[in-house]
Amino acid sequence: MAVPKATVVLKHVKSVMVRFCPFQTNVETTRIFLEQVNSKKSRASNINCVVKTDVRHDGTEPVVDIMFADGDRLIMKGANLTAREMLLAFNSRCIAKGLKAEEKNK
């Protein structure tokens, strides 16, 4: 599967927890998402964002748990989503938070 070219901005994100079992067949999209979030460019957008990986060997379903700075939470189950869908959901939530912060500052 080709890695989607998407800019991941972690400006409004407090933490990202990625949990998966590497021996499951449906973890590829979750690993692609982790690669995008953990890239140098993405990490530079918020150096205070904590990115944790929980690798298990128990058949755990791949899950991405994102905590935003305002207390909102986004949980994505990678087994049922493509990497593009995960990145689009994440980016759309981040854009909405950015617009909300802009309105608040005006």
The residues, any chain, with a CB within 8 Å of residue 87's CB and separated by 6 or more, are 4, 6, 8, 33, 36
Reduce the DSSP state of residue 44 to 3 states and report it: helix
Residue 8 lies in a domain: no
pLDDT at 2 over 70: no
β-bridge partners, 17? 52, 65
Residue 59 lies in a domain: yes
Residue 37 lies in a domain: yes
Reduce the DSSP state of residue 92 to 3 states and report it: helix
Residue 6 lies in a domain: no
Report pLDDT for 104: 82
Residue 54 lies in a domain: yes
* pLDDT tens-digit series, residues 27-76: 999 999 999 999 999 999 999 999 999 999 998 899 999 999 999 999 99
Domain total in the chain: 1
Report pLDDT for 6: 61
Reduce the DSSP state of residue 15 to 3 states and report it: strand
Residue 41 lies in a domain: yes
Dist. CA 63–CA 21, nearest whole Å: 10
